[in-house]
Structure 1
Amino acid sequence: MFFGQKIHPLNFDIPEQWRINGNTVELSGPSVCLRIHCADIADGCLRLRFENLHDTGSRQHSDAVLPELREGRSVVPMVSSHPNPHLLGEKETDIVQFTTAAGRIELGASCLRLELAGITLDTVAEGIGSCGENLLLNFALNNVEGCYGFGERTRRLNKLGDSAEFLTVDVVAVFRHTYARDDYDPTYVAIPLAILKTGEGFLGLFFDNPGRAVMDTGKSRPGEFWYQAFGGVTDLYALAGPGLADVVRRYAALTGRAPLPPLWALGYHQCRWSYRSAAEFRELAAQFAAADLPVSALWYDIDYMDGFRLFTWNRGAFPDPAGLNHALQAAGIRTVTIVDPGVKREPGYAVYDSGRERQAFCQTASGRDYVGKVWPGDTVFPDFTLANTRDWWAGKLADFLRDNAVDGVWLDMNDPATGYSRSEEMCFDHGSISHDRYHNQYAHFMAMASRAACDRIDPDGRPFLLTRSACAGTQRYSAVWTGDNASNW
């Protein structure tokens, strides 16, 4: 499947009947078996969970939503007569209703109506479908005047008539033209949030599925909003307005708010690719002082490392990094180091050896350590989905920052970038979970582990932590930087 491709709606199988089974509704038909559950989550927020029983790789965990809001209160489905049964087709006269504190949902075999905060959103007649393990939700854009969100995207603010793919990628490696253009898709960040404007009201739709997905707001077929998830469970959170700010506040309450950064984060920072020696840093600081220009931080790019080995220094160019960084701190200048996830595959290299001992690295389905080809050469990758690995990483990163008097961390290459080596062979949980289940969350769990490292150094501090890739919820641990780009204003 190439970037920009979708599944044609006519290739989806459409459910023909429904039945209630406890607190769930099962939609079925030839080659279709979907299970839908509704829950009241919080004030102005309800959730519809779509499970595809044809999805055999069911192991999945999304960390987007705050833990205390992941269960909610289950809503019992009720049967009622449809006021316009001809809209349901020949086989139906009744519908299923979920009545929640936030709003109401009406569900037929192949259609859905959502009523929330005075806004009504309907699917088209055949608006629910599956194609194998893939899910389709197709909403009619009747009276919708704007669509906002999509998460960390360029192009125009109103995304109505646009399309976006949600898959974290190493943008410059995938799209060679990106130094001159900014309309690439997909991008470094995957946040499938759409905010629809109808009249003076707004309605938020957050599709919580950590796998690859597409949203098309009328680009392929005007008047229709397609959501297509390529496998996995999709939790659709409906977020009430009435205003745009209300929707955003509810989304922040659902997925978490970003912590305050340190005060020095707001000053001027000097960063480029790349300063290569301690002498360059001292000269740079002297030039700022001579020009009477305040500078809050200087940044180390990848050349500070010994052969790009993680948590090392090139001692020829940086013989005393702690001494250099203490001297800069005395002058009021902080330092930030780039940190990649890839660990050089080199027996005898302490970080690699300790990771192997802790079984901290991603593996193939057959149990071999997965190997990519990035800056250090042959490279293995921490499996941040494992608590054991996050603990190992937090310890290594905390020691590196503390021992070298480094003030901030700049996480890179965590899309994850794997060079010419396909990422599909990178599995999780000792090779037992396929790559697509956690691809979009790789950077998220790396940020979680890195935030834990900062907390080990100063539990009450405000760490400076940036990540290149992210998904919904990553803001709880790290801010996001813009990725590789050019200063072409």
Structure 2
Amino acid sequence: MLLVYHAIADLAVNETQIGIGATGLLTIERKSTKKLIFQTDLTKLIYSDQFIQLKSTLPSPQIYGLGENKSNFTKSTQWELITIFNHDKVMSAPGPRYGSHPFYLNIEDVTTGTSNGVFLLNSNAMDVLLQPEPAITYRPIGGILDMFVFLGPKPDDVVRQYIHLIGLPELPPFWALGYHQCRCCTEPHTLANQKLITERTISAGIPFDVQWNAKEYMEPTFDDFTIDQKRFGGFADWVRHLHDIGMHYVPIVDPGIDPAQKAGQYAPYDDGVSMDIFIKNNTGGIFIGKTWQTSGKTVYPDFSHPGSIKYWTKQYQEFHNQVPIDGSWNDMNEVDNFLSASIYGCPANNSLETPPYLPKQLPKIQDQTLCMSAKQYAGLHYNVHNLYAFYMAIATDEALKTVRNKRPFVISRATSPGQGKYSGHWNGDTDTTYGELKWTIGCKLLDYLV
């Protein structure tokens, strides 16, 4: 499906000439300038179950977007290859990062600013190849070609049209627009040390609105929704103190749940089993991978499951009853898995695990994630991997609305198009260098249009 999108439908018809020639050439032309916005030869389209290839010419080499990948703000049409796949990767290396956004903005004329945009609504892993003609070639490894063309005519018009299609971002609470700090802690990781760091910032006169913590507040097993009472005793009172002085507090929450605790001692696992919430392996058992849990085992809620919001809300409610948190920092939700398989490996001789085409910037399709044959309510992980964080954001957004009865604050490492309706996005793990700072500004500008 190919849709030409404009805020005023009649203008889209009057401004463009759309046609398919006798030779199979599909063209979209801007009438006023005679520029070909989109042109593809349908006789050369490859459309199979696990590989699609479509090439289109570009009106100019000025192209932006196609995130989230470690590359320059302006993409290069000199054979730049971009893999799109939600992926946790060492920051110094090129390749796909935490979000998947197959949308580009193309400046047709740098003098007038006339622009267009194209969005491929496809959740599968893919390569996008930019070529000198200039041209663009899409290579998804599944799904369909559901494409939207935005006519602008100015860059801000294109962005506005795209955002109206995928969903307007949620208005954050006012306090979320202030200064946030997450720095903890010099050894030992204790609440006493955290208090010193927080008070030092306040004493320096820095306008300080929100304190965050990573997993150091958790029990030594690194289990979600737990508190280490030895190292973080008095945690709830401290958070209430932050509220008293006009501040807010946000903890990290990973999707991974520890399956190794004794029955009846860890509700996030017990509830998930009783509600049948966890992602399954190819044989129907619970998929077991590994992240931070010291047990060496991790299971993953299937946030596409209709019962996941009820399940997730219960965990936030019970945690909020202990500590009155104000938001959620969703991490490790690409979804991440240190084993790149289950604890039993991935099925052999399976085309999902060894697809006929592997996107070029991935060492293997399961790298740092689950087996592609893992089963979710919405479908095989092969097809819905890039939507995991989106579903998690929906569940977290709804949980915080219920628990706090206030406008929620959710920040997510992984993203896909439309997720801004439920969460913000942070750029993940970066080194504290000027080079990394430059990269986060340049390559993220259009990536953040989630």
- Of 169, 172, 181, 1:270 maps to 181
- Max Rg structure: 1
Alpha-carbon offset, residue 123 of structure 1: 2.0
Alpha-carbon offset, residue 117 of structure 1: 6.8
- Of 401, 420, 438, 1:475 maps to 420
- Of 139, 157, 173, 1:246 maps to 157
Residue 208 and residue 293 in structure 1: after superposition, are their counterparts in 2 closer, same or farther (change >3 A)? same
Q: Distance in 2 between matches of 1:475 and 1:100?
A: 30
Instruction: Give CA deviations for 1:378-437 in whole Å, capped at 9, x if unaligned.
Output: 01000011121232112312432353111121100001101114212562336x832111
Map 1:308-323 → 2, pairs under 5 A: 308-323=222-237
Map 1:110-149 → 2, pairs under 5 A: 110-116=24-30, 118=32, 119-120=35-36, 121-124=38-41, 126-131=43-48, 133-141=50-58, 143-149=59-65
- Asked if structure 2 preserves the Cα contact closer than 8 Å seen for 1:205 and 1:237, the reply is yes
Partner of 2:333: 414
- Of 442, 446, 452, 2:398 maps to 452
Q: Distance in 2 between matches of 1:290 and 1:133?
A: 58
Q: Distance in 2 between matches of 1:154 and 1:45?
A: 36
Structure 2 length normalisation: TM-score?
0.80
SS in structure 2 at match of 1:314: coil
Q: Distance in 1 between matches of 2:3 and 2:75?
A: 29
Residue 362 and residue 464 in structure 1: after superposition, are their counterparts in 2 closer, same or farther (change >3 A)? same
Partner of 1:364: 281
- Asked if structure 1 preserves the Cα contact closer than 8 Å seen for 2:115 and 2:151, the reply is yes
Deviates more, 1:287-296 or 1:335-344: 287-296
Q: Does 1:195 align with 2:108?
A: no
Q: Does 1:105 align with 2:18?
A: yes
- Asked if structure 2 preserves the Cα contact closer than 8 Å seen for 1:127 and 1:139, the reply is no
Partner of 1:424: 371
RMSD: 2.5
Q: Does 1:164 align with 2:82?
A: yes
Residue 354 and residue 476 in structure 1: after superposition, are their counterparts in 2 closer, same or farther (change >3 A)? same
Q: Distance in 2 between matches of 1:360 and 1:45?
A: 43
Q: Distance in 2 between matches of 1:45 and 1:116?
A: 15
Partner amino acid for 2:323? N
SS in structure 2 at match of 1:114: strand
Partner of 2:292: 375
Q: Distance in 2 between matches of 1:452 and 1:205?
A: 31
Partner of 2:356: none
Partner of 2:439: none
SS in structure 1 at match of 2:290: strand
Alpha-carbon offset, residue 263 of structure 1: 2.3
Partner of 2:218: 305
Map 1:175-254 → 2, pairs under 5 A: 178=91, 181=92, 184-199=94-109, 200=112, 201-218=114-131, 222-254=133-165
- Asked if structure 2 preserves the Cα contact closer than 8 Å seen for 1:140 and 1:224, the reply is yes
Partner of 2:438: none
Partner amino acid for 1:123? T
- Asked if structure 2 preserves the Cα contact closer than 8 Å seen for 1:274 and 1:301, the reply is no
Residue 366 and residue 101 in structure 1: after superposition, are their counterparts in 2 closer, same or farther (change >3 A)? farther
Structure with bigger strand share is: 1
Q: Does 1:261 align with 2:178?
A: no
Q: Identity of aligned pairs, percent?
A: 28
SS in structure 1 at match of 2:328: strand
Structure 1 length normalisation: TM-score?
0.74
Alpha-carbon offset, residue 104 of structure 1: 4.6
Residue 338 and residue 350 in structure 1: after superposition, are their counterparts in 2 closer, same or farther (change >3 A)? same
Unaligned runs of 5+ in 2: 342-369, 435-450
Deviates more, 1:383-392 or 1:128-137: 128-137
